[in-house]
Structures are given as C-alpha cells and as structure tokens.
Amino acid sequence: MIDTDNYGMDGKTRPRPRVDIIVVKFVNPVVAQPLKFLRWFLGYPGYLWPWNAGYFAASLIVWLYLTPSLETMREFHAQWISLTLARNAAFGQTKIGERCSFLFGVQFAPYG
C-alpha cells in the first residue's frame, strides 16, 4: 500500500514524492581548499602534530632500542619472549593510563 500523505501519483500508477529531490554534488575539501588542508595536516593542533608524531617517535625508539636483535630472536626462547611481552605490557599500561587520565580527568587521590 502506498502512503498517500507523502507520495502522489504522476498520472499513471507510479508513486512520485511530493517534494523534489535535490542532488548535491560532492566537493572534495582537499581539492577545493589545498592550503587549508595543508594547514590542518601540518599545523600544530592538527592531524600530524602532536599525537601522531609522538606515537611515531615512541614506536621508533621501542623498535630501535628495546627490541632484541635478530640473532637473539632466531630461535624461540622464553627469555626474549617474556622480555618482549613485559615491555609491551608496560608500554600499553602507560599509554592506557595516559589516555584515561587525559580523557576522563582522573585524579589519583588517596582513599580515606
């Protein structure tokens, strides 16, 4: 059954909307405003700085200085596996705690 409040007929048996359909062309903001996009991408409170650059620097430091060498990891041993697991757990807890305190304003006060 056709809803007659929102649709009319076009003279035949096909329903037609009472309101004209507006077709909007998509304009890519990167193409339309390249300088504004670059200012957002490279600017200080933008996409690249400060969060993504900080994450990249932290992952680079961990990869270069805290990952065991390939000669050590050539064979499975509990020592380097547990070292890597402990490093990842500590780093993950640090980042999760940082995000929670930043996002939710957690204040660590003594109980009492």
Q: What is the pLDDT, as a whole number, of residue 109?
A: 59
Residue 101 has pLDDT above 70, yes or no: no
Q: Name the DSSP class of 17.
A: E
Looking at residue 27, its pLDDT comes to 73
Give the model confidence (pLDDT) of 20-58 as tens digits: 777 777 777 777 788 888 888 888 888 778 778 888 898
pLDDT digits (tens, 9 = 90+) for 57-80: 988 998 999 899 999 999 999 999
**Which alpha helices (DSSP H) does 13-77 contain, by range?**
29-32, 34-42, 53-65
pLDDT confidence of residue 74:
92
Degrees (nearest 5) of the Cα angle 99, 105, 107? 105
Q: Which pLDDT does position 60 carry in this prediction? A: 93
